[in-house]
Amino acid sequence: MVGIVGFDSDQPEARMSLAQFQSIECADCPIRHRAVCARCDSDELEALDAIKFYRSYEAGQTVIWSGDQMNFVGSVVSGIATLTQTMEDGRTQMVGLLLPSDFVGRPGRDGSAYDVVATTDVVMCCFRKKPFEDLMTRTPHIAHRLLEMTLDELDAAREWMLVLGRKTAREKIASLLSIIARRDASLSVDAASGAVSFDLKLTREAMADYLGLTLETVSRQISALRKSGVIELEGKRHVTVPDMRRLIEEAGDDSDGGVLG
Amino acid sequence: MVGIVGFDSDQPEARMSLAQFQSIECADCPIRHRAVCARCDSDELEALDAIKFYRSYEAGQTVIWSGDQMNFVGSVVSGIATLTQTMEDGRTQMVGLLLPSDFVGRPGRDGSAYDVVATTDVVMCCFRKKPFEDLMTRTPHIAHRLLEMTLDELDAAREWMLVLGRKTAREKIASLLSIIARRDASLSVDAASGAVSFDLKLTREAMADYLGLTLETVSRQISALRKSGVIELEGKRHVTVPDMRRLIEEAGDDSDGGVLG
DNA sequence: CGCGGGTTTGAACATAATCAAGATAAGTGG
DNA sequence: CCACTTATCTTGATTATGTTCAAACCCGCG
């Protein structure tokens, strides 16, 4: 509920975490191998290093408003952010979930088409747009990696369209949990039982916006999955999946989701 | 208003169309300015010309099966194709609508994640994957244009997610008609009244798969829009929109969709 | 003609939305 | 430490929207 003003957050805490990252070497960066810079050689990395800067956002803060001018692009270094679209009457749909290493912004376009909101505290590695675009024309590895990442996002968006268009509420919840289990780096796996557990970093409302449901339906279906033994809950947000196979089955997917294989 | 080639599937010309295109010069190509080759200079175009070949598909034919090896990529030259995903129990969701100039295939990946089906007769300008990928690394204009097109598709997919997740059946139909009116090159506009009219090249079932509805609901909502005077029908497939603004309002969009200026 | 794909329409039904009331948990300030 | 506040979540009752099942229609075509 704090600052609504996009960047330049003046809170001392924000500065602290910022300072932490300001001294980081690209070589030591936690997202070095997955972000837009993944394929860069040392020269290219140096060029990026020269124009990069870090920014941090507090949980709840809006990073960019839909329609606003965007003078930077960047990668999520830590934390979670969401891309959402909102209709005039307030109905909102999440259209992207940004985890560490995901890219924000669109080279070649000025305005953002979506609201970008920090769900947890977020640190971003940013580049002013113009220098980044110039660099991109000179360094094919960046352009190539960005194409690859965009194609991956397109695949994810299309998988999500199947979820939104054709799955039941229960399948939707199971799908979301599978996706989080697949992508969240902070999940823990019990070697003996194979049980997977993780923290849900989304509120029931955010999950509802993700899945095209109401928050009440989300709550009911989570309870139902718990009662069926598909998941276990400690508190409201910590989820344990005793058997991933079972969860994936509930999601209606034939593929194994990449976690087990 | 003449739709490029194509749709008259029953005629012998449909078979001839392959031969017709085999001799085509890139410079005379109807999709030259919009396809993946849009930004190419004459040298690059020559290189593409050297490796291109045309293929045609009849209405209803499957171009690629989900999971199949894909040894070529290419552009739709004429006709309409769909990308669909299907669950084990048969529920299907369309995840892409391919119109002339749209790109098919994913450089850097072997299998197709989706079924690609020709909805009308389709002609494609194809490249074997390996030579195309090689060419792409050497000609930045192709890679750049492909990135641009992929980003556009991602935007379209996200707009579609809002439709699937949050819109009512009536709004979904109105949204689909707006999208077709916006993208279909073969639509005609009455200069005096501003009325727009076009042929629906999709069956009710295909529309249902697009919108995450049943074909019965699609049929009902089209009837309802007709009764409200938002659209007029001649036969089952020819649609006239007397007032685009009205249709866009029914779609629940605030933006004008780009058609009216 | 009659056949079949595509379509329309009706009636009963199911699923998720809506409206409403509480429960839980984490602060906040006295 | 406790009362109070607030955000988040759960659960219940009712309703609305779209689905399902079923029948019939339209129209081009053999």
- Higher-confidence residue of B187 and B169: namely B169
CA–CA gap between residue B113 and residue B123 (Å, rounded) = 21
CA–CA gap between residue B112 and residue B70 (Å, rounded) = 6
Q: Categorize the per-residue pLDDT at B229 as very low, low, confident or very high, splitting at 50, 70 and 90.
A: very high
In a domain, A203, yes or no: yes
Half-sphere exposure at residue B238, Cβ-oriented, CA atoms within 13 angstroms: 5
- Confidence at residue B24, expressed as pLDDT on a 0 to 100 scale: 76
Q: Testing the interface with B: which of A92, A106, A151 to mutate, by most B Cβ within 10 A?
A: A151
Q: Categorize the per-residue pLDDT at B20 as very low, low, confident or very high, splitting at 50, 70 and 90.
A: low
Q: Is residue A26 a contact partner of residue A125, using CB atoms and an 8 Å limit?
A: no
Calculate what percentage of chain A has a pLDDT beyond 90.
75
Q: Strand (E) positions, A183-245?
A: 188-189, 196-199, 232-234, 238-241
Calculate what percentage of chain B has a pLDDT beyond 70.
88
Shortest CA distance from B167: residue in chain A: A91
Note whether B76 and B114 are same-domain residues: yes
**What secondary structure letter does DSSP report for B26?**
G
Helix, strand or coil, per DSSP, at residue A73: strand
In a domain, A149, yes or no: yes
Note whether B31 and B141 are same-domain residues: yes
- Confidence at residue B142, expressed as pLDDT on a 0 to 100 scale: 93
pTM > 0.75: yes or no: yes
What is the mean pLDDT of the segment spanning B24-33? Answer: 89
Note whether A106 and A48 are same-domain residues: yes
Nearest nucleotide by C1' position to the A213 CA atom: C16
Contacts of B166 in chain A (CB under 8 A): 87, 91-93, 212
User: Assign residue A191 a region: left if phi > 0, alpha if psi is -120 to 50, beta otherwise?
Assistant: alpha
Which token pair is B93?
């969701």
Q: What is the torsion angle, in degrees rounded to the nearest 10, for the CA atoms of residue A171, residue A175, residue A177 and residue A180?
A: -170
Task: For residue B162, give the nearest of A93, A151, A154 by CB distance.
Answer: A93
Note whether A171 and A220 are same-domain residues: yes
Note whether B145 and B25 are same-domain residues: yes
- Confidence at residue A23, expressed as pLDDT on a 0 to 100 scale: 62
What is the mean pLDDT of the segment spanning B22-27? Answer: 76
Phi (first) and psi of residue B52, to 5 degrees? -85, 155
CA–CA gap between residue A28 and residue B148 (Å, rounded) = 31
CA–CA gap between residue B200 and residue B189 (Å, rounded) = 15
Whether the per-residue pLDDT at B139 is higher than 80: the answer is yes
Looking at the structure of chain A, the number of domains it has is 2
Whether the per-residue pLDDT at B185 is higher than 90: the answer is no
Q: Which residues, including other chains, have CB under 8 Å from residue B4's CB and lie 6 or more apart? A: B30, B77, B78, B100, B185, B186
Nearest nucleotide by C1' position to the B236 CA atom: C7
3-state helix, strand, coil in chain A (%, to 5): 40, 20, 40
Note whether B44 and B111 are same-domain residues: yes
Which amino acid, residue B141? Answer: H
Q: Is residue B225 a contact partner of residue B173, using CB atoms and an 8 Å limit?
A: yes
Note whether B119 and B212 are same-domain residues: no
Cα B145 to the center of its chain, rounded Å: 18
CATH number, position A65 = 2.60.120.10
| Binding-face residues of B in 166-205 toward A, CB within 8 A | 166
Which amino acid, residue A244? Answer: M
Q: Is residue B232 a contact partner of residue B195, using CB atoms and an 8 Å limit?
A: no
Q: Strand (E) positions, chain A?
A: 52-57, 62-64, 72-78, 81-86, 92-98, 103-104, 115-118, 122-128, 188-189, 196-199, 232-234, 238-241
What is the mean pLDDT of the segment spanning A27-40? Answer: 94
What is the mean pLDDT of the segment spanning B95-118? Answer: 94
Note whether B172 and B224 are same-domain residues: yes
pLDDT digits (tens, 9 = 90+) for A223-252: 999 999 999 999 899 999 999 999 999 999
CA–CA gap between residue B223 and residue B219 (Å, rounded) = 6
Q: Is residue A208 a contact partner of residue A165, using CB atoms and an 8 Å limit?
A: no
Cβ-7 Å neighbors of strand D: A 1, 203-205, 215-216, 218-220, 222-223, 233, 236-237; B 10, 168-170, 212-214, 216-217, 220, 235
Q: Categorize the per-residue pLDDT at A140 as very low, low, confident or very high, splitting at 50, 70 and 90.
A: confident
- Which H/E stretch holds residue A211? helix A204-211
CA–CA gap between residue B248 and residue A16 (Å, rounded) = 48
CA–CA gap between residue B253 and residue B261 (Å, rounded) = 15
Helix, strand or coil, per DSSP, at residue B24: coil
Cα B28 to the center of its chain, rounded Å: 21
Q: Categorize the per-residue pLDDT at A108 as very low, low, confident or very high, splitting at 50, 70 and 90.
A: confident
CATH number, position B223 = 1.10.10.10
Final residue belonging to a domain, choices A109, A138, A160: A160
Q: Categorize the per-residue pLDDT at B21 as very low, low, confident or very high, splitting at 50, 70 and 90.
A: low
Calculate what percentage of chain B has a pLDDT beyond 90.
76
Note whether A141 and A34 are same-domain residues: yes
Whether the per-residue pLDDT at A4 is higher than 80: the answer is no
Q: Which nucleotides of D are covered by protein (CB under 7 A)?
A: 7-13, 17-22, 27-29
Q: Which nucleotides of C are covered by protein (CB under 7 A)?
A: 6-11, 15-20, 25-26
- Confidence at residue B8, expressed as pLDDT on a 0 to 100 scale: 36
- Confidence at residue B1, expressed as pLDDT on a 0 to 100 scale: 34
CA–CA gap between residue B213 and residue B94 (Å, rounded) = 11
What is the mean pLDDT of the segment spanning B216-226? Answer: 98
Q: Is residue A175 a contact partner of residue A163, using CB atoms and an 8 Å limit?
A: yes
* Range with lowest mean pLDDT among B162-176, B185-199, B218-232: B185-199
In a domain, B8, yes or no: no
What is the mean pLDDT of the segment spanning B146-161? Answer: 96
Q: Categorize the per-residue pLDDT at B25 as very low, low, confident or very high, splitting at 50, 70 and 90.
A: confident
Residue A243: is it exposed, middle or buried by C-beta count within 10 angstroms (0-12/13-18/19+)? middle
- Confidence at residue A13, expressed as pLDDT on a 0 to 100 scale: 41
Half-sphere exposure at residue B156, Cβ-oriented, CA atoms within 13 angstroms: 19
The CA–CA distances, whole Å, from B66 to B61, B77, B110, B129 equal 14, 22, 11, 17
In a domain, A5, yes or no: no
Final residue belonging to a domain, choices A93, A126, A160: A160
Q: Which of A11-20, A160-169, B16-25 has the highest mean pLDDT?
A: A160-169
The reply to whether B132 touches chain A by the CB within 8 Å rule is no
In a domain, B2, yes or no: no
Q: Categorize the per-residue pLDDT at A188 as very low, low, confident or very high, splitting at 50, 70 and 90.
A: confident
CA-atom Rg of chain B in angstroms: 19
Q: Which residues, including other chains, have CB under 8 Å from residue B211's CB and lie 6 or more apart? A: A165, B163, B164, B169, B172, B173, B175, B176, B218
Q: Categorize the per-residue pLDDT at A8 as very low, low, confident or very high, splitting at 50, 70 and 90.
A: very low
For A95, the domain range is 12-160
Q: Categorize the per-residue pLDDT at B23 as very low, low, confident or very high, splitting at 50, 70 and 90.
A: low
- Confidence at residue A25, expressed as pLDDT on a 0 to 100 scale: 84
Which residues are B198's β-sheet partners? B239
Final residue belonging to a domain, choices B162, B178, B199: B162
In a domain, A212, yes or no: yes
Q: Which residues, including other chains, have CB under 8 Å from residue B232's CB and lie 6 or more apart? A: B226, B239, B240, B241, B242
Contacts of B250 in chain A (CB under 8 A): none
Q: Categorize the per-residue pLDDT at A134 as very low, low, confident or very high, splitting at 50, 70 and 90.
A: very high
What is the mean pLDDT of the segment spanning A210-234? Answer: 97
Q: Which residues, including other chains, have CB under 8 Å from residue B163's CB and lie 6 or more apart? A: B171, B172, B175, B176, B211
In a domain, A82, yes or no: yes
Whether the per-residue pLDDT at A12 is higher than 90: the answer is no
What is the least distance, in Å, from the CA of A256 to any CA of chain B? Answer: 14
- Higher-confidence residue of B183 and B55: namely B55
What is the mean pLDDT of the segment spanning A5-14? Answer: 39
Note whether B100 and B175 are same-domain residues: no
- Confidence at residue A261, expressed as pLDDT on a 0 to 100 scale: 38
Note whether B151 and B205 are same-domain residues: no
| Binding-face residues of A in 22-61 toward B, CB within 8 A | none
Q: Is residue A70 a contact partner of residue A111, using CB atoms and an 8 Å limit?
A: yes
In a domain, B85, yes or no: yes
Helix, strand or coil, per DSSP, at residue B115: strand
CA–CA gap between residue A49 and residue B60 (Å, rounded) = 52
- Confidence at residue A53, expressed as pLDDT on a 0 to 100 scale: 94
Q: Categorize the per-residue pLDDT at A183 as very low, low, confident or very high, splitting at 50, 70 and 90.
A: confident
Note whether B142 and B37 are same-domain residues: yes
Q: Categorize the per-residue pLDDT at B7 as very low, low, confident or very high, splitting at 50, 70 and 90.
A: very low
